Structures are given as C-alpha cells and as structure tokens.
A = this chain, B = another copy of it.
Amino acid sequence: MAYELYYWPGIQGRGEFVRLALEEAGAEYVDVARGPGGVAAMQRLMDGAAAAQPPFAPPFLKDGDVLIAQTANILLYLGRRLGLAPREEAARLWAHQLQLTIADVVDEAHDTHHPIASSLYYEDQREEARRRAGDFIANRIPKYLGYFERVLERNPGGERHLVGRRTSYCDLSLFQLVAGLRYAFPRAMARLGPGFPRVGGLADRVAARPRVAAYLRSPRRIAFNEQGIFRRYPELDGGN
C-alpha cells in the first residue's frame, strides 16, 4: 500500500525532507494535500475527534494504521523500511541525532524571517529579521556547517557520507539544507560555502543521484519560494 504524506501544498517546507527519502527509495506515495480535497483531509486528521494520536502539525505520514508526525520521527520510521538508515541501534540513533541537529538549523533558518511570530507577516518584523539573519549568517551557519564538515571528516565509513558507507536520509536532508541556504542566502553562501568543501560536495553528489535528479526536474519538486522556510529576501542576505 502506498504511503500517504500530508503536508501543506505550495511549499517544500519540512515535508521536503520526507519527500526526498521517498523519492530516493523509489517508494510509492501519495502527496495527499496536493490532490483534490487534500488539505481538508489533512485538517480532519489533525482536528478529528476520532484521532487518538493527533499530530500537532504537518508533515505527517500514514502507513496503513500508523499515523506518525514530526519530520525526524517520520524519517526514523522510514529509514529502515526504505533502506536509508543503518540497522544497528547505536548507528540508527546517531543518524537520528544528526537529523535532529539538521531540524534545529532548519528552525533557525525559518526564524530569520519570522523572529517575532509566525502569525505575523514578514513585513511586520522586517527590522528584527534583519538583525536575526545577520547573526544567523555570522555565527550560526558557520557553526552548523562546520559541525557537519567535521562529522563527514571523521566518519569511519568515509567522508562521502554522514553515516556509514551508504546514502542515508541524513545525506538527503543535508542536501536539502544546503540547497535551502544557497537559495535564501546566495551571497552569504558564495562567501561561506567554500569553507565547507565536504558539505558542499555531499550536497552536489546527492543532487546528481539518478532518482533525486529526476525528482528535482519533475513537477513533484515545488520550487523554492517566499512562503516556505527558506526565503530569498535580499535585505537578509548579509553585508547590508
């Protein structure tokens, strides 16, 4: 039976980390909220009094009777099933730990344009966004990318992967993070990127994997835009 993915249509958002895993694995899935009546179906699963285990927010995944939310948790669930994570417990938790750290920087990337409240427009927090983005570029991007660079460098399985000797969902997610940062902060990343060659190399290799490359060219890949997590607002891209 096909997996059912529920996520806001129109943006890559956090759903994209799940999509990339499903696509790389060639798994059968339905992107429910992008179909007719899909957003209403998604809302029903969140609000429905029937659900004993309601998700707090999208994305969530339905696999038969199992309903599972929180991006990193979904990937923990899918990892073994899709062959995108190690089987042994310590390695599995290590992959999950890396994914949670990617989730942290994704949250921070979101907050560069919404430092005050998700419920307000960007325009109503533009000044605060400028300050927060400045710190994100100066301190947080280098700290996080430096960390992943170090993880790649030290991976006993070789510096082409974050975990072990094979592509895991962490590699796919790091690609997505780098793609998002390059989109949102092109000037800053042009300056900072070369300092993290292993991270950049991994992102480029993931993008070139046959199934990922086919997906990125397909209409299933929503383009980056200014409603998602990674937004290109030139005034937030440093140097101003």
- Partner-B contacts on A (CB < 8 A): 49, 51-56, 66, 68-70, 72-73, 76-77, 90, 93-94, 96-97, 100-101, 104, 107, 111, 115-117, 119-120, 125, 128, 131-132, 135, 139, 144, 147, 150-151, 154-156
Contacts and interface: CB of A to CB of B under 8 A. Distances in A.
A51 B144 CA distance: 17
Given A93-B77, A96-B73, A132 B154 contact: no
A156 to B, nearest CB: 6
8 contacts: A51-B154, A56-B101, A70-B97, A115-B128, A115-B132, A116-B135, A117-B132, A125-B131
Copies of chain A in the complex: 2
Contacts of A52: 154-156
Contact of A117 (B90, B94, B139): B139
Nearest to A120: B135
Contacts of A154: 49, 51-54
Contacts of A155: 52
Contacts of A66: 90
B70 A100 contact: yes
Given A90-B66, A93-B73, A156-B52, A119 B100 contact: no
